[in-house]
């Protein structure tokens, strides 16, 4: 599983955790089917789950005319992943994290999702 695939699978797991009552380990197992998890995938999921409250507060500081509770689940999950990647343990280059989040938004969100995510993440790195 490469990093792009790991991000997409992590998005699916984190989205389901946000919308269903799953245990993270159970959600990971169900999402993988027969694939082998890699360290990046596991770190991303566990990190977002463990730091969710702090990540949400950080995201909320960079929203204009929005609250974290009003953001759709797809966008919220992608913002959490990218925020964790850029500012927590993974230290993914900002351009990569933003691009990957926007690409996933084009797949899973609506026509405005990518632009919204790009705007919020850009504010984070410019402050």
Q: What is the pLDDT of residue 118?
A: 95
In angstroms, the CA 89 to CA 97 distance is: 13
User: Would the pLDDT of 115 be above 70?
Assistant: yes
Rounded mean pLDDT, 27-49: 81
- Residue 24: pLDDT over 80: no
Q: Is 1.10.287.180 the CATH number for 3-126?
A: no
- Closest alpha carbon to 4 in 119, 97, 110, 84: 97
pLDDT above 70 as % of the chain: 91
* pLDDT recorded at residue 92: 85
Kindly report, residue by residue over 77-114, the tens digit of the pLDDT.
999 999 999 998 777 899 999 999 999 999 999 999 99
- Domain ranges in the chain are 3-126
Residue 30: per-residue pLDDT: 67
Radius of gyration of the chain measured on its C-alpha atoms = 14
How far is the C-alpha of 88 from the C-alpha of 96, rounded, in Å? 15
pLDDT computed for residue 45 by the predictor: 92
Residue 27 has pLDDT above 70, yes or no: no
């Amino acid at each position: 599983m490469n990093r792009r695939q790991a991000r997409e699978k992590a998005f699916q797991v984190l989205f389901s955790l946000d919308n269903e009552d799953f245990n993270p380990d159970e959600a990971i197992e169900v999402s993988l089917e027969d694939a082998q998890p890699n360290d990046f995938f596991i770190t991303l999921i566990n990190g977002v789950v463990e730091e969710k409250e702090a990540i949400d507060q950080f995201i909320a500081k960079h929203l204009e005319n929005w609250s974290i509770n009003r953001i759709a689940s797809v966008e919220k999950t992608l913002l959490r992943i990218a925020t964790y990647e850029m500012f927590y343990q993974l230290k993914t280059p900002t351009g990569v994290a933003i691009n990957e989040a926007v690409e996933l938004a084009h797949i899973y969100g609506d026509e405005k999702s990518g632009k919204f995510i790009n705007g919020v993440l850009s504010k984070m790195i410019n402050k």
